[in-house]
Structure 1
């Protein structure tokens, strides 16, 4: 199938909690499909390391603003929705790398599964290690097994959810508002983990839109 390279005019998105929709769902979904598949096909087909690094770097630069509104409204049934969730994870970590590292360490301590191993953060888990992990996941999308990269991201989300829940428990007796916010964050990470895991299944069975 031939895919045209379309560049929509979009608005920026900065926050983890804001995933928006579109008033023209059909047109937005079509454009999201075209842009996401064109990006994936072009980068994976070229295998140019410099291009890969530029695409990975979208999460930490202004380039993310160009795709945020369109992709943010897509579900994990679509490639656009899956890619948006991965870029969102990277942007959130970049916004507070020290906090993300602390949250991940707490999640590792609380985990009773192999998720920390699958996520694969370097030891010791520093702020730099978390950023590098998110970048490695994105590189895996464009240079390796996309399904494996998504499973790794899902494990990362589950560890982060545990870490946020642990922080919420620790803050509960001292700051109800912060504890509630952390509990919400844990739920959102958990939901993202489920959605990305579902995206991995759809990629493998050929039903990712």
Structure 2
């Protein structure tokens, strides 16, 4: 029996040496568990305007709550009538309402609520709709929505005049009339354009 035990011990030692082991047995605790994505969070602006585009970013975390670097995401929304998403996470406001932006990474989906507020609305009602030829008048743009401050760009066909921020002063050189147009750009780069056709009449009241 003593010889048999010695022989078995020798075989075991040779087997361990052949595997390059120094004598330490591998335990379950020595095996690192596979890291998987368990949580996805999404960051976006809380509010955007109709017509505005903003960047959203996703963050993926493993089961140890550590950030997973280099993860990719598929972007989408459960409210496609309110926002659209690009493949890189750009969200664009389409209509007013509370929208949901979603990012899926590693089979896990995270979401963020984004409120879409009204875009820029312009009215050129402040000014006459009919003028006498060469009579100098003033038209003003009433702007709402978007994000202040605004910038204004004016143009007027068949007319001559000058623009002053939110108003235009000038006169028609046409016996028929002219088209007055203003383009407004807000602080986020969202633009809107409004035009108004002004007719000419010899019986129109003077400005």
Larger gyration radius, structure 1 or structure 2: 2
- Higher relative contact order structure (alpha carbons within 8 Å, sequence separation ≥ 6): 1
Same fold (TM over 0.5): no
TM-score normalised per structure 2: 0.19
Query: Structure 1 or 2: larger helix share?
Result: 1
TM-score under structure 1 length normalisation:
0.19
- Structure in which a larger fraction of residues adopt strand: 2
